Amino acid sequence: MFKKAKSLFSFVKDKLVKTRESITESITQVFKGDSYKITTSDSGKVKVTIDDSTLDELHETLILSDVSFNSSERIIEKFKEGLKSQETDKEINKTFFLSVLQKEISLMLSREDLNINFEPGGISIFVISGVNGSGKTTTIGKLANLIISEIEKKVMIVAADTFRAAAIAQLEVWAQRVGAEFFSNDNKDPSSVVYSAIEDARKKNVDVIIVDTAGRLGTNNDLMMELSKIEKVIHKQTGKPPIENLLVLDGTSGQNALSQIEKFKKSIDLTGIVITKLDSTSKAGFAISASYDYDLPIKLIGIGENLEDLIPFVPDNFSKALFDLQ
């Protein structure tokens, strides 16, 4: 699914330049000539051994690159195991060490549930949430475009952010731009808007509904309960929860965004996360923790302002882009 968009991941390396330069330079400094030992086996291959002080320094470097303590510990553990079990005939240089790290990070991020899901029959409903300024509205427009252009499904964008008239107008512009249906009404109760939208979508033979919700902080209990109510209305109308319940995170926030995941997970059944603005940050390392620490797939990433710059997440390509590897 989304094969054309996935092929664009060759551009991710260029888009992640700020993070790549920061994290690669920092990690390369760890592996100086006296930080590891090389022994040669009878087969002529070499084994690399790293002392604990170097591993501690690598751990600290990962944390300073916006990888959480928990995720960093996991990476160090697997990195150490990978070196211990490996004999190589490759040159021992920075590329060798970065490649071992890349492999372990790719495995951490790889999951069976990375793909965007669609109902095999009936309407697929996506609920999109996040704090103000995370890029939620733009993500909705680009996601609608991705679905329409690549798999040719009929999409309806629903304005359930009843607090801001500007948000409704912005969504309508996006719907017109990408060729999606648009639904809003004068009801101030977001769950009632969603209820009416589902009825309208059935009449228009819509395949996918994408629901925009008001930007909110996870500490605002009333607004979090509102999200839960939207979930219940969807279940009542369709007999199922939303097929995708996605939280949009601002990539420039780094580890500060992680607390949002915890708070949203307490109120709604998230199916995945979307990370935006990865082209504008040196903190893309937090994506590792967002997925691993909270047991959630990264479904999509935003890597620019163009319409096509929302793409499916591919762990192997993302981790290679982090370390400037082919």
| CA 136/CA 144 separation, integer angstroms | 12
pLDDT of residue 115: 94
Report the mean per-residue pLDDT for the chain. Answer: 89
Residue 293 has pLDDT above 70, yes or no: yes
What does the buried/exposed string (b/e) look like for 248-282 if buried means 16 or more CB atoms within 10 Å of the residue's CB? bbbbbbbbebbebbebbeebbebbbbbbbbbbbbb
Is the model more confident about 241 or about 21? Answer: 241
Confirm whether 13-109 and 124-322 share one CATH topology: no
What is the share, in percent, of the chain residues with pLDDT greater than 70? 95
Whether 282 has a pLDDT exceeding 90, the answer reads no
- Domain 13-109 - what CATH class? mainly alpha
Given a contact cutoff of 8 angstroms between Cβ atoms, the answer to whether 152 and 178 are in contact is no
Residue 265's SS3 state is helix
Average pLDDT, integer, range 22-26: 86
Residue-level pLDDT at 8: 55
pLDDT digits (tens, 9 = 90+) for 218-267: 456 777 888 889 999 999 999 999 999 999 999 888 888 888 898 898 88
Domain 124-322, CATH homologous superfamily name and number: P-loop containing nucleotide triphosphate hydrolases (3.40.50.300)
What confidence tier does 118 reach under pLDDT thresholds 50, 70, 90? Answer: very high
Q: What is the pLDDT of residues 201-211, one digit of tens each?
A: 999 999 999 99
pLDDT surpassing 80 at residue 161:
yes
Give the Å distances, CA to CA, from 39 to 85, 86, 326.
Answer: 13, 12, 27
305 and 276 in contact (C-beta within 8 Å)? no
Which sequence spans correspond to the domains of the chain?
13-109, 124-322
Listed range (98-102, 254-258, 314-318) with the worst mean pLDDT: 254-258
Going by pLDDT thresholds of 50, 70 and 90, the confidence category of residue 321 is confident
